[in-house]
């Protein structure tokens, strides 16, 4: 498929020598990965990173490090244009059950998030703006229990964008959704990444095809062997061969990429890597 014109600017997320152990158990080892601000001529293009790995490999542990909710045993996670060490709240973390406060209306849920980062008048204005951008204005007075799954997902993403700095981490955003809802969530992700070129969405998912179709970059978390002894090293890492640049491979930003044979072939290759890891 065609590689669409693009270039890269400053780093927006950097993991440098990140390792994580619990007691003597190494979970993550020597993670060195980076997301750069991608530039597409004439477009506001944010970044989408798919993060894969088999069950129990350490994806949730990695999410907590990326969100600043835990400190790595070694190394640093730096975020934003200023590349500051991540603090809790800098990365919006949308966990699987779209946590919204049930006793607050949708508008008040968003307002609460906006107040964490903005002065009251600004928080009000941003909340109104985000309700409109996310197609939620008509539902602003409803309580979360009265929203559909898709509306709650939209609300949770809007909420996290209102109080974080452009980085959003979605943990299994497609699990348990029907096909129509999956399309809806895909649409939201595309909207978020074209709202602002600094917006970066990290998607942790077992749904390889759906996530790959949205992403311009993939990271596969897997164990590695010591090159000299062939022995399996403790913990999982994201080796250079498991850092895929879909933009360079010509697989990024094509709306109908899932229908292409090259895409199906690529996804099968990723699945085989996961099976063999």
Binding site for ligand ATP (CB under 6 A): 22, 27, 53, 55-61
- Give the separation between CA 222 and CA 18, rounded to whole angstroms: 14
Tokens in use for 179? Answer: 């096909």
Spatial CA neighbour of 170 closest among 116, 109, 99: 99
CB of 276 to ligand ATP, least distance (A): 16
Choice between 46 and 58, CB closer to ligand ATP: 58
Choice between 60 and 124, CB closer to ligand ATP: 60
Q: How many CB atoms lie within 10 A of CB 256?
A: 8
- Give the separation between CA 153 and CA 98, rounded to whole angstroms: 6
CB of 270 to ligand ATP, least distance (A): 15
Choice between 27 and 86, CB closer to ligand ATP: 27
Could you report how far apart the first and last alpha carbons of the chain are, in Å? 28
CB of 180 to ligand ATP, least distance (A): 25
Spatial CA neighbour of 208 closest among 253, 276, 274: 274
Choice between 58 and 80, CB closer to ligand ATP: 58
- 242, 273 contact by CB (below 8 A): yes
DSSP character for 110? H
CB of 22 to ligand ATP, least distance (A): 3
Choice between 13 and 28, CB closer to ligand ATP: 28
Paired strand residues for 79: 13, 84
CB of 29 to ligand ATP, least distance (A): 12
């Amino acid at each position: 498929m065609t590689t669409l014109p693009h270039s890269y600017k400053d780093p927006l997320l950097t993991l440098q020598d990140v390792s994580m152990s619990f007691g003597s158990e190494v979970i993550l080892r020597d993670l060195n990965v980076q997301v750069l601000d991608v530039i597409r001529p004439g477009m506001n293009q944010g970044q989408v990173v798919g993060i894969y790995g088999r069950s129990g490999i350490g994806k949730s542990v990695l999410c907590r490090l990326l969100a600043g909710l835990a400190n790595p045993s070694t190394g640093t996670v730096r975020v934003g244009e200023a590349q500051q060490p991540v603090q809790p709240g800098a990365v919006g973390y949308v966990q699987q059950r779209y946590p919204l406060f049930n006793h607050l209306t949708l508008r008040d849920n968003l307002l609460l998030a906006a107040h964490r980062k903005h002065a009251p008048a600004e928080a009000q204005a941003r909340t109104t703006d985000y309700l409109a951008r996310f197609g939620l204005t008509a539902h602003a007075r409803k309580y979360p229990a009265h929203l559909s799954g898709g509306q709650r997902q939209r609300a949770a993403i809007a909420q996290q964008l209102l109080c974080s700095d452009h980085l959003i981490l979605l943990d299994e955003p497609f699990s348990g959704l029907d096909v129509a809802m999956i399309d809806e969530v895909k649409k939201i992700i595309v909207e978020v990444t074209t709202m602002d070129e600094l917006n970066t969405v990290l998607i942790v998912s077992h749904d390889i095809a759906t996530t790959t179709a949205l992403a311009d970059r993939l990271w596969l978390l897997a164990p590695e062997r010591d090159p000299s002894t062939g022995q399996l090293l403790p913990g999982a890492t994201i080796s250079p061969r498991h850092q895929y640049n879909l933009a360079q491979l010509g697989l990024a930003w094509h709306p109908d990429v899932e229908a292409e044979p090259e895409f199906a072939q690529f996804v099968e290759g990723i699945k085989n890597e996961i099976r063999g890891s």
